[in-house]
Structure 1
Amino acid sequence: MKPESELRNNLKQIRNRLGLSQQDLAKITGVSRQTISGVESGQYAPSATIALRLAKVLGCQVEDLFWLQEDYIDVEAIPTQAVPVAQKVRLNLAEVGGNLIAYPLFGEEAFRTEMIPADGEGWRETDNSKIIVKLWDSQDKIKHTVAIAGCTPVLSLWAKFAEQWYPNLRVSWSFANSIEALERLLRGEVHIAGMHLYNPETNSHNISFIKNILTNQKLVLINLGFWSEGLIVQPGNPKRLRTVVDLTNPAITIVNRELGSGSRQLLEHLLNQDQIPFTAVKGFNHIVNSHVAVAQTISTGKADAGISIQAIATAFGLGFIPLHKSQYDLVIIKDYLQEKPVQQFLNTLGHQRLHSQLISLGGYDTSQTGEIITTIEPKN
């Protein structure tokens, strides 16, 4: 039996990104503000006429605004490896020989490094900074690509979800820590930068760091989620670590992240807060460049602890000690919001199926996912 479907919508998020109030949208569309409110809250299913008007006014397709979400159904599958009893596990599925096979997403299977297909081959003929590229793929595919830089593997999960929802969309995700991602955005190399930097002086995330290096661009911050950040430790926490103070024990070795990363910044803040010199922590200068590398270093016994997120600890079967609730925001040059690939990518932030994926990772709060945090004006 096919499950019943429920009408969902992305109207509020798209309206907010365009800077329209409910009253503004109602006036332009020719309906009442109560109608807009009812549609956004899911209490009112719009007619085809109203749905088409809304899409036209907001410059998008009806499918960008409304979709039918089916209830979840239960199926039975055969796992390819042992799965803990009564513990939820993220899985991929495939039908093989008439059987539904489940592939548990543990360790590197959850956060995999893949060879990326190229769009072409390029070379430089002169000292000019530009290169000549022989395309192997269509220009249309390139025009439908949105580029994002950030450090969380969640970006690849979101990218795949968006590509499934919009078959013509392609998401190009490149790894960069928070500062590098922001700098790449301001250099015009990507559409979106992901950041999770904390300022203890203002008890806020990201905004002050952006203002420090912002030039002449108007930026919009959109929330991707809040995550639990802290110490990843060996399974069962055999060294009985509780806080960063325990890292001063000479028997404890840590692995650290590079300058510009949110994890490195959090560790330094917590050590400074407890007046602990960095030199008192063994392994402080043992640097790796990703959340996954932190987990791999600890899982192989080369370090006892390191700062990362709960989702990474869960994926690698490691212990986790929460120390901070971090805010991960997407930074976008406002003009880019008019570009169709960017609109499509951001539209998927409102889908419950994406939220379910994020929540299942562990330590994720999606209560503000897709919401505009603020708009930052350029310096005078």
Structure 2
Amino acid sequence: MIPDPLPTLEPRVRERRQGLGVGASDLARQVGISRQALHKIEVGDSVPGTLLAFRLAAALHCRVDDLFTLRGPARPPTLRARSDAPPSHGPLPPGTRVALAHLSDPAGGEDLLAVPLPAGAFHVPADATVIATAPDGTLSAQPLSPTHEVLAAAARTAVLTGCDPALDLLVTHAARLDPSARVILRAASSLPALRAVAQGQAHAAGLHLWDAASGTSNLPFTRRALGPATLFTLWTWEQGLLLAPGNPRGVRGPADLGRADVRLATREPGSGSRLLLDSWLRAAGLPHPPAVAVARSPLEAASLVASGQADAAPGPRSAALAAGLAFVPLQTERFDLAVPDEHARHPGVLALLGAARSAAFRADLHALGGYDAAQAGEVWQRSLPGTDPPLSLEAQP
């Protein structure tokens, strides 16, 4: 909690001295201090001791109370913002550290978005701390730096959402490319990431959503969810089955996931890997088998297999490499960045795209294994609203 500010002394020495026509050097000499020390007292940078205060009052023919007034603590500045968390998550507790970004609210609420920082995010500086939450969900927050500096930083802050851990690497390269721009990464599966952009909770979404009906990734979902937008290539990757080292169950493809001796860890509805898994199972003529666990990210899926809690899980080759797992490739898939036209010139978005096009990022990503970033940062498709009904982001296709 931020401690309450204490009262301070408001000096009126200069006003009294100038009113009597006494020079600063003369007064300083009378009371036995330097002119510099007197200046600090007059501007409030120094509080005199009791004896010196009485000497000043005697020299200026007044009472000490005429020279110094106890001033109550100034009310700390506050900012109004909205939380990026859905109402069902409840209000953010007072004292929560938040980063701030300027992002217009389609619903007409506050344009300042508060993104809560994890309790263990010691390396991420906060812009403000939450004071309270109003019944309508609006936050009041106390800035941790001068308000004008916080607002200037918020205007250059982009919120990126997506699930691939390689987005962390992209954000790091973007910070190197343009230190004045900031990107806040919020982890979310592909469909919730797209929903966040549509609802004014993010500037851009990294997504991989396979549409089996059209045989196209990302474009059908983006076209139905957003207004005019652009899909930029970030990378392509191999998706398939994450398996225990050495593949002791002998899993060769989706058909083996129906076996009683194969424990499946699945992904949550709305994730790109879940869409792929469902399409693979349909093609194999299998229903979705019971799952021993539901992973919230590719690395969590890999961890479940590596720890022996599951025998197989859908995910990218990069996750298998990171966890030392066996891998059965099934499909090469696009991972794109969806950016609405209104955010296309945002400094944070431009930094992301510039970083994606840089040789340093492409080499760094290639070194991880499982990624092809040859066209990273390049325009792939324009997405314009079509005649199809809007995508229901609450329901799963």
Structure 1 length-normalised TM: 0.66
Q: Deviations over 1:13-41 (max 9, x none)?
A: xxxxxxxxxxxxxxxxxxxxxxxxxxxxx
Provide the rounded CA distance (Å) in 2 between the counterparts of 1:125 and 1:350.
41
Count of residues in correspondence between the two structures: 263
Q: What is the identity, as a one-letter code, of the residue corresponding to 1:242?
A: R
Provide the rounded CA distance (Å) in 1 between the counterparts of 2:131 and 2:195.
25
* Contact 2:224/2:386 (<8 A) preserved: no
Q: What is the identity, as a one-letter code, of the residue corresponding to 1:299?
A: A
- Pick closer, same or farther for the CA change 1:377–1:212 going to 2, 3 Å: closer
2:224 aligned with 1:212: yes
The Cα shift of 1:299 comes to 0.9
Which of 208, 211, 215 pairs up with 1:196?
A: 208
Q: What is the identity, as a one-letter code, of the residue corresponding to 2:190?
A: S
The Cα shift of 1:142 comes to 2.6
The Cα shift of 1:319 comes to 1.1
Which of 324, 331, 339 pairs up with 1:324?
A: 331
Which of 266, 271, 276 pairs up with 1:261?
A: 271
* Contact 2:234/2:375 (<8 A) preserved: yes
Which of 190, 193, 207 pairs up with 1:178?
A: 190
2:322 aligned with 1:312: no
The Cα shift of 1:117 comes to 4.1
Q: What's 1:79 paired with?
A: none
The Cα shift of 1:295 comes to 1.0
Q: What's 1:221 paired with?
A: 231
Q: What is the identity, as a one-letter code, of the residue corresponding to 1:249?
A: R
The Cα shift of 1:122 comes to 1.6
* Contact 1:226/1:326 (<8 A) preserved: yes
**Counterparts of 1:358-373 in structure 2 under 5 Å?**
358-373=365-380
Structure 2: state its 5+ residue gaps.
Answer: 1-119, 388-397
The Cα shift of 1:212 comes to 3.0
Of 139-148 and 116-125, deviating more is: 116-125
Provide the rounded CA distance (Å) in 2 between the counterparts of 1:321 and 1:309.
10
* Contact 1:250/1:282 (<8 A) preserved: no
Q: Deviations over 1:91-133 (max 9, x none)?
A: xxxxxxxxxxxxxxxxxxxxxx855543211234642332111
- Pick closer, same or farther for the CA change 1:125–1:376 going to 2, 3 Å: closer
Query: Which protein is bigger by CA-based radius of gyration?
Result: 2
The Cα shift of 1:176 comes to 0.8
Aligned residues: CA RMSD: 1.7
Q: What is the identity, as a one-letter code, of the residue corresponding to 1:356?
A: A
Q: What is the identity, as a one-letter code, of the residue corresponding to 1:119?
A: D
Provide the rounded CA distance (Å) in 2 between the counterparts of 1:346 and 1:267.
30
3-state SS of 1:201 partner: coil
Provide the rounded CA distance (Å) in 1 between the counterparts of 2:206 and 2:327.
23
- Pick closer, same or farther for the CA change 1:251–1:121 going to 2, 3 Å: same
Provide the rounded CA distance (Å) in 1 between the counterparts of 2:381 and 2:355.
20
Q: Deviations over 1:218-272 (max 9, x none)?
A: 1111010100111111111111111011111111101000000011110100000
2:135 aligned with 1:123: no
3-state SS of 1:286 partner: strand
2:283 aligned with 1:273: yes
Which of 294, 298, 303 pairs up with 1:291?
A: 298
Provide the rounded CA distance (Å) in 2 between the counterparts of 1:155 and 1:345.
10
3-state SS of 1:146 partner: strand
Provide the rounded CA distance (Å) in 2 between the counterparts of 1:238 and 1:129.
51
3-state SS of 2:344 partner: helix
Percent identity of equivalent pairs: 29
The Cα shift of 1:361 comes to 1.6
Structure 1: state its 5+ residue gaps.
Answer: 1-112
Q: What's 1:300 paired with?
A: 307
